[in-house]
Chain A
Amino acid sequence: MIEAFFNIEIMKAAWPIVLTGLWNTILLSLIVVPLGLLGGLILALLASIKHPLVRWPLMAWVDFFRAFPPLVLLVLLFAGLPFAGLELGGFACVAIAFFLNTGSYYGEIFRAGIDSVPAGQVEAARSTGLSRMQSMRYVVLPQAVRNVMPDLLSNTLEVVKLTSLGSVVAVPELLYEARQAQSITYNPTPIVMAAVIYFLLLWPLVRLLSRLENRALAGRH
């Protein structure tokens, strides 16, 4: 058992490979999280225009990407687009898929946050002479973000976990490198290493979220 899953020799041999994967996972997360946040913010700002011609297509967009599995989106971009003469690398495909998929989730969260700020705040801000943009930027958004912080963090956790999908399109992140090491060594230890690294990396965030969520639900009474 220990020989198979916690083999010290294999760990030593696989460590440099796994470490490369870890760095790439961190880099990838640092790119796709801001990208998703940006997509979400754009969607939420558009949603604050309460016109039906904006609202309905936007809702359809968000619901579409909430229904569509991210892996299918990724495969569609990676394996489908070349047939249209557009060959993007695995990395670009991950970036686009995440912008579309996680952007929709972030968008819903930001929208809920903006809705949670009372209308009186905007009215007060506008009546002091702030423009629409200024009241959004300086009055509504800061409060909105604070109100939905637990949801934003929880979605960010999911986004970081989702970067493991990159392994399917040969992006050399943690899971991909671990599987490479596994196929070289004929031993599952590298995958166990990857799992332990993911756990150590994300556990603090999970603990924090668990406390925030309990407090949020309990506060409703």
Chain B
Amino acid sequence: MSGWDKFVETFFNAKVMVKYLPDILSGVVVTIELALLIVVTGLGAGLAFALLRSLAIRPLNWLIIFVVDLFRSLPPLVIIVLMYFGLPYAGPAPSGFVSTWLSLAFVLMAFSEEIFWAGITSIPKGQWEASRSTGLTFGQTLFNVVLPQAFRLTIPPLTNRTIAITKGTALGTVVAVTEILGQASSAMSNSYNPSPLMMGAAAYVVLFLPVVVAARWVETKFAWKR
């Protein structure tokens, strides 16, 4: 057998691939579920906190800033491990799936709150005053004048951050989530063959590469003209 054949036989073994394809596909489903949950809850909570912050209630803002700073400074894997291995000592024992979801959602919340807030504060005070003086309420000003402009500004940093954090779903494998990497790793140790890992790697590329390319497009489209 030539070197090349041996390489293909080892890393792209057709028999092993066919056998473990269903496992990898079920991992893809779990990864997509996790990713969607993280994006929706993380961005939703981030926006909610940014809006709360715009009410300018001092003690509340300090609390928000502290929570945001906390989840920006802790490595996501540390949060996941703490939640999964630590929380059970205090009572609630979240599953690996829930630990990964909540941890990454907290991290995305922290980053997106910062970005949304920076977007809101970037709108000059004069716009607020002008809107209020035409008779718009605080809420109307926020939703019809400030947020539409703020969103535009926040889209490039937000897409980048969202992709980086959603990729973190692979961390779930450390706490036994059966997402792509978890499935691929256990298939690899069952078959003594790295082909499932190659399939898993390919699955990540198929899932995330289109998102990265789309983000690049969005970035140029929404870029503030200099």
Contact = CB atoms under 8 A, between A and B. Distances in A.
A63 B212 contact: yes
Contacts of A67: 163, 167, 204-205, 208-209, 211-212
Interface string B84-121: 01100110000000000000000000000011011101
Interface stretch (A43-51, A91-99, A123-131, A201-209): A201-209
Nearest to A158: B164
B163 A165 contact: no
Interface in B171-216: 171, 173-174, 180-181, 185, 188, 193-194, 197-198, 200-201, 204-205, 208-209, 211-213, 216
Nearest to A201: B73
A93 to B, nearest CB: 14
Q: Is the interface of A mostly helix, strand, loop or mixed?
A: helix
Interface size bracket, A side: 35 or more
B10 interface: yes
A80 B193 CA distance: 9
B181 A182 contact: no
A210 B86 CA distance: 30
Contacts of B52: none
B170 A69 contact: yes
A221 B163 CA distance: 27
Q: Is the interface of B mostly helix, strand, loop or mixed?
A: helix
B78 A71 contact: no
A108 B74 CA distance: 24
15 contacts: A67-B163, A67-B204, A68-B204, A70-B167, A71-B181, A72-B181, A75-B181, A158-B164, A164-B75, A179-B85, A188-B85, A188-B86, A191-B78, A201-B73, A220-B122
